[in-house]
Amino acid sequence: MSYEEKFIFEDRTRWQACGEGMKRQIMGYGKDLMLVKIDFEKGAVGTMHTHPHTQSSMVVSGSFEVTIGGETRTLHGGDGYFVAPDVEHGVLCTEKGTLIDTFTPCREDFL
Amino acid sequence: MSYEEKFIFEDRTRWQACGEGMKRQIMGYGKDLMLVKIDFEKGAVGTMHTHPHTQSSMVVSGSFEVTIGGETRTLHGGDGYFVAPDVEHGVLCTEKGTLIDTFTPCREDFL
């Protein structure tokens, strides 16, 4: 897979381990944008962290307790959340499912 | 809903008609990033178009014939596609489903 690859197929894309009970696939990226799919087992934790990238995310399935800048909400399939640069955030998966995380610029540290 | 709103709930977010058999919800945005969910009925067409924004997209469910820069592929749930700025692209829904489209910078024309 490469920058600005047009078509990205799930069954030909590598899964990366990214923590206990979590794995991710990079489903598209260019210098200024990246889309990442993350599968969570129930109880998996995306620990609190920050990054300089802007992030917009959506819950595809399952349920997640999402904390952003000290506020926590429970989100379900179809809900979204937005993280401004350098704002601390994290998730707890309360029902097995999938998140889409998108970033600008690209998370070069994921490549 | 406003710029950089942290939590966006599907059941409190307006659906916008965006073509025959298509409707969308904006599920998060800031000046440099926007995430949009689009539901398609079978046979609905996202007509060929261009924009200066970079786009990274994922099929959540259903099947779509996606054309980018003259190349067409059939994508299913979990697959992704990437559109560089000003490259002509469009989709045909061949099985009812949902796409996630993300853009940088924000599609101000959607607000």
Structure tokens at A31: 């210098």
Given a cut of 90, is residue A1 above it in pLDDT?
no
Contact B79 A35 (CB under 8 A): no
Neighbours of B103 (CB within 10 A): 26
* Rounded Cα distance, A51 and A45, in Å: 17
Q: How many domains does chain A have?
A: 1
Residue type present at position A11: D
Q: What is the overall mean pLDDT for chain B?
A: 97
| Residue A73 domain flag | yes
Stretch B3-7: mean pLDDT: 96
| Residue B65 domain flag | yes
pLDDT of residue B1: 81
Distance of residue B26 Cα from the nearest chain A Cα, in angstroms: 9
Please tell me whether residue A77 adopts helix, strand or coil conformation. Answer: coil
Report the complex ipTM. Answer: 0.96
| Residue B104 domain flag | yes
Closest partner residue to B8 among A54, A69, A80, by Cβ? A80
| Residue A4 domain flag | no
pLDDT class for B54, splitting at 50, 70, 90?
very high
> Under 8 Å CB-to-CB from A94, ≥6 apart: which residues?
A42, A62, A63, A64, A65, A74
pLDDT of residue A55: 98
What DSSP letter does each residue of A44-57 carry, written as one string?
Answer: -EEEEE--SSEEEE
In tens, the pLDDT along B20-53 reads 999 999 999 999 999 999 999 999 999 999 999 9
Distance of residue B51 Cα from the nearest chain A Cα, in angstroms: 15
Output DSSP code: residue B10: G
Residue type present at position B42: K
Q: Which of A28, A36, A74, A39 is nearest to A55 (CA)?
A: A36
| Residue A53 domain flag | yes
Q: Which of A75, A103, A96, A95 is nearest to A23 (CA)?
A: A96
- The helix (H) or strand (E) run that includes residue B33 is strand B33-40
| Residue A22 domain flag | no
| Residue A93 domain flag | yes
| Residue A36 domain flag | yes
Global pTM reads: 0.97
For residue B27, list chain A residues with Cβ-Cβ distance below 8 A: 56, 58, 79-80
Domain assignment of residue A61, given as a range: 29-110
Residue A58, domain CATH: 2.60.120.10
